[in-house]
């Protein structure tokens, strides 16, 4: 990303107003400059001081608080905004904007800005589904305003239905993604694998590994934000499904192989971040294995080396693998790069306790087929993904 971007967050008067605090915290973590405009009603739900503390900017609440200055203020925030995010958006603000009403600081700023405006509505189901409201939403969509649809769920009023504010991570992820101006993967198809695979022993037991999936998910999200069409083949992990990414959930080595083979040919870039099990039990017991007096020997047999298969099928695809090593990092990684016919391999030392597997950070060396090595300092997995795509694009 180039210069620091500005998000103007409009908070309107609904019970979900407190959730906007969480959205702002996430935007700040992404190093965005955040300014908050609160409607008068929203200040009855949450104290502006909370928004001021989190955004580290003065909160604008009243258009007439500073006589003569207001005009400058609403115009300046409207100009400063790279994105406006209305969270939560009541049916009232939706109705006002849809009908050209600008009678307070938030509605005037929305009207004056040329930045994209995103509404994240939250309302009682009947209010939200009211045809007048739905018509207003349709009208605003036609004008280019964006909506993050509310979820279904139990609402503050006790009703169950549509109208619950969308997940705060989804809201902040969409905002961050919209502000990402590097779109160098537009038109490209990127296939990513992530997480562990599992090999079943009997109906209740299985063998797996400690992969959290974080590295592969970060790669998928980075590719999406740079404009790619992304397919993420994911082993079982606890991470949320990233938006606008086609996720294929699998469990075993065999299922992962089938899924990647299906999409390999049409892909431009294939990145295998998954920790694939190399062995599976030789026999699967249909019945639960009962314990006996003695120990139990489990015989394992080799399973598919998926990446090696892809290396042998490769035509124009850029193929990237990972090498998780506990010793002789570079030599082992170089051997895998050639043995599996890769273009890049990302080597990480799994003996470092604060990086790798479950951590959000990683410290890696990226090795290129032409012999170039890039050792990166410890950084977030998202930043590793960014460096990887920078390098892929540089070499293409």
Q: Which residue has the tokens 């961050």?
A: 176
Q: Which is nearer to ligand CTP, 221 or 303 (CB)?
A: 303
> Any contact of residue 350 with ligand CTP (CB under 6 A)?
no
Write out the two tokens for 278: 């190399």
One of 322, 343, 356, 384 touching ligand CTP (CB under 6 A): 322
Kindly state the number of chain residues that form the binding site for ligand CTP, as judged by CB under 6 A: 14
Shortest CB 266 distance to ligand CTP, Å: 19
Q: Measured from the CB atom, is 22 or 325 closer to ligand CTP?
A: 325
State which of residues 167, 246, 255, 305 lies at the interface with ligand CTP (CB under 6 A). Answer: 305
Query: Can residue 280 be called a binding residue for ligand CTP (CB under 6 A)?
Result: no
Closer CB to ligand CTP, 16 or 219, in the complex: 219
Choices 38-46, 118-126, 303-311, 378-386; region in contact with ligand CTP by CB under 6 A: 303-311
Asked if residue 219 binds ligand CTP (CB under 6 A), the reply is no
Among the candidate windows 63-71, 79-87, 121-129, 318-326, which touches ligand CTP by CB under 6 A? 318-326
Residue of 157, 237, 352, 368 marked active site: 157
Angle at CA 40, nearest 5°, toward 35 and 43?
70
Q: For residues 270 and 78, what is the distance between their CA atoms, to the nearest angstrom?
A: 41
Helix ranges (H only) for the chain are 19-29, 42-45, 48-55, 70-80, 91-98, 105-112, 125-129, 131-142, 168-179, 214-225, 253-264, 306-313, 329-339, 381-395
Residue 323 sits in the site that holds ligand CTP (CB under 6 A): yes
352 is catalytic: no
Q: Where are the alpha helices (DSSP H) in 36-124?
A: 42-45, 48-55, 70-80, 91-98, 105-112
Q: Is 322 one of the annotated binding-site residues?
A: yes
64 annotated as ligand-binding: no
Minimal distance, residue 323 CB to ligand CTP, in Å: 5
Neighbour-count burial of 190, counting CB atoms closer than 10 A to its CB (0-12 exposed, 13-18 middle, 19+ buried): buried
367 binds ligand CTP (CB under 6 A): no
Q: Quick one: 313 or 324, whose CB is closer to ligand CTP?
A: 324
Q: 395 labelled as ligand-binding?
A: no
Q: How far is the CB of 106 from ligand CTP (least distance, A)?
A: 48
- Contacting range for ligand CTP; rule: CB under 6 A; set: 106-114, 221-229, 297-305, 369-377: 297-305
Query: Residue 231 CB, nearest distance to ligand CTP (Å)?
Result: 15
Instruction: Rule CB under 6 A: say whether 247 interacts with ligand CTP.
Output: no
Is 340 a known ligand-binding residue?
yes
Residue 102: partners with Cβ closer than 8 Å, 6 or more residues away: 96, 108, 110, 111, 112
Cβ proximity of 191 and 270 under 8 Å: yes
What the block records as the tokens of 115 is: 């930045």
Tokens of 135: 């018509």
* Count of CA atoms in the C-beta half-sphere (13 A) of 298: 14
Please name which of 308, 372, 303 lies closest in space to residue 334, comparing C-alpha atoms: 372
Tell me: does residue 344 bind ligand CTP (CB under 6 A).
Answer: no
Select the residue interacting with ligand CTP from 111, 247, 324, 383 (CB under 6 A): 324
> Taking a C-beta distance cutoff of 8 angstroms, is the pair 152, 181 a contact?
no
Q: How many residues are there in the chain?
A: 396
Closer by beta carbon to ligand CTP, 331 or else 373:
331
Which residues lie below 8 Å from residue 329, measured CB to CB, with a gap of 6+?
323, 347, 348, 349, 365
Site for ligand CTP in 258-277 (CB under 6 A): 272, 274, 276
The reply to whether 336 sits near ligand CTP by the rule CB under 6 A is: yes
Shortest Å, Cβ 316 to ligand CTP:
20
- Residue 84's DSSP bridge partners are 8, 117
For residues 168 and 211, which CB has a smaller minimum distance to ligand CTP in the complex?
211
Backbone angles phi, psi at 80, to 5 degrees: -70, -30
Binding site, by residue number, is 278, 288, 322, 336, 340
| Interface residues toward ligand CTP, by CB under 6 A | 272, 274, 276, 278, 303-307, 321-324, 336
Binding site for CTP, by residue number, is 278, 288, 322, 336, 340
Q: Annotated catalytic sites, by residue?
A: 157
């Amino acid at each position: 990303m180039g210069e620091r971007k500005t998000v103007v967050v409009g908070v309107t008067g609904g019970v979900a107003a407190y959730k906007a605090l969480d959205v702002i915290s996430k935007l700040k973590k992404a190093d965005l400059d955040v300014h908050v405009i609160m409607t008068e009603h929203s200040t009855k739900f949450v104290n502006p001081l909370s928004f001021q503390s989190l955004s580290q900017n003065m909160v604008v609440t009243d258009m007439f608080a500073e006589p003569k200055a207001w005009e400058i203020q609403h115009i300046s925030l409207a100009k400063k905004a790279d994105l406006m995010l209305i969270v939560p958006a009541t049916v009232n603000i939706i109705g006002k904007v849809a009908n050209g009403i600008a009678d307070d600081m938030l509605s005037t700023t929305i009207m004056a800005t040329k930045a994209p405006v995103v509404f994240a509505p939250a309302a009682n189901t009947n209010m939200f589904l009211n045809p007048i409201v739905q018509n207003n939403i349709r009208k605003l969509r036609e004008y280019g305003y964006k909506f993050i649809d509310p979820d279904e769920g139990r609402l503050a009023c006790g009703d169950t239905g549509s109208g619950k504010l969308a997940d705060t991570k989804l809201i902040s992820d969409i905002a961050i993604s919209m502000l990402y101006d590097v779109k160098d993967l537009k038109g490209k198809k990127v296939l990513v694998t992530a997480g562990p695979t599992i090999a079943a022993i009997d109906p209740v037991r299985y063998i797996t590994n400690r992969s959290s999936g974080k590295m592969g998910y970060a790669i998928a999200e980075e590719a999406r934000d740079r404009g790619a069409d992304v397919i993420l083949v994911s082993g079982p992990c606890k991470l949320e499904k990233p938006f606008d990414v086609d996720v294929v959930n699998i469990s075993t080595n065999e299922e992962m192989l089938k899924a990647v083979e299906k999409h390999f040919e049409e892909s431009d870039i294939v990145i295998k971040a998954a920790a694939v099990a190399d062995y599976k039990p030789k026999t699967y017991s249909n019945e639960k294995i009962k314990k006996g007096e003695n120990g139990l020997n489990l015989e394992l047999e080799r399973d598919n080396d998926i990446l090696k298969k892809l290396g042998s099928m490769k035509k124009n695809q850029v193929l990237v693998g990972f090498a998780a090593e506990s010793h002789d990092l570079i030599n082992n990684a170089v051997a895998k790069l050639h043995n599996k016919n890769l273009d890049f391999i990302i080597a990480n030392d799994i003996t470092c306790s604060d990086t790798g597997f479950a951590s959000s950070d990683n410290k890696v060396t990226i090795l290129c087929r032409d012999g170039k090595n890039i050792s990166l300092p410890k950084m977030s997995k998202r930043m590793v993904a960014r460096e990887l795509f920078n390098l892929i694009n540089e070499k293409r």
